[in-house]
A = this chain, B = another copy of it.
Amino acid sequence: MSLTKNEIKFVKSLHQKKYRDSNQLFIVEGEKLIQELLSQKQYKIECIYHTQDYSITEQNEAFSTFLISKSDLERISNLKTPNKVLATVRFKEEEDLDLTKKKLVLLLDEVKDPGNLGTIIRTANWFGVDQIICSKNTVDLYNPKTIQASMGAIYEAHIHYRYLLQILPALKAADYILTGASLTGENIYQTSFKEKTALIMGSESHGISTEIMQALDQAILIPKYGTAESLNVGIATGIILAEYKRQLP
């Protein structure tokens, strides 16, 4: 079966944020991610487009499936080497912030690289952290590179976009210790984490914004032994989450 020009144009438009937002749809690609997508409940699939060498075992009337040619898949794909199957998926409804049950909440202040955001979501999942609050100027969760890098961890995460300054009082009121990573912070290995921690990670180029720095309860630092100016924000997040879990397993 061949897709019409308009169908191709529509799916391709979802590579761009403004069309994802207006249609409330995003793209998931590749056998592995689609397999996980089919077995989760948080996101509703709209359509699945697949080539002949992909067999869809799931029988489900909730979404449409289209058998398409390899060249049509190449046309709608965002990958260099498209991988048999692509789905359009409906945005999840905005959830309420849950500040009662979670021990550690992760806040991201202006993380701009979609690959970094995806890797952070995947790393947070590894350490059992499923609540992430992104600043409004953090890159779009539904960017294809974020989805790809998250390796399916987005299906389980609860991700909110908020003005961080506005959310900090609620976190304080819920007894979270506001902890920010900063090059002027205290050595992380001389820091005792509290169970209820709100960990705030800033952008690589600018760090945490000044207003948020002023609201912190503690600033922490991963000690440096070389000359590199900074750590990648995903790496720094991984190291701090690992240290939190070492102290409070």
Q: Could you list which residues of chain A lie within 8 angstroms of chain B, going by C-beta atoms?
A: 115, 119, 122-130, 149, 151-153, 156, 189, 222-232, 234-236, 238-239, 242-243, 245-246, 249
Contact = CB atoms under 8 A, between A and B. Distances in A.
A127 to B, nearest CB: 5
Q: How many copies does the complex hold?
A: 2
Contacts of A189: 246
A183 B68 CA distance: 38
Contacts of A243: 242, 246
Nearest to A239: B242
Given A189-B246, A238-B231, A225 B122 contact: no
B238 A122 contact: no
Contact of A127 (B124, B225, B229, B238): B225
Contacts of A222: 126, 242
B227 A119 contact: no
A231 B149 CA distance: 11
A234 B153 CA distance: 17
A234 B145 CA distance: 17
Nearest to A249: B223
A223 B235 contact: no
A241 to B, nearest CB: 9
A134 B94 CA distance: 45
28 contacts: A115-B115, A119-B235, A122-B228, A122-B232, A123-B228, A123-B232, A125-B228, A126-B225, A126-B226, A126-B228, A127-B224, A127-B225, A127-B226, A128-B225, A128-B226, A129-B226, A130-B226, A149-B232, A151-B230, A223-B249, A232-B234, A232-B238, A234-B234, A234-B235, A235-B235, A238-B239, A242-B242, A242-B243
Nearest to A235: B238
A127 B235 CA distance: 12
B227 A125 contact: yes
A215 B249 CA distance: 31
Contacts of A153: 226-228
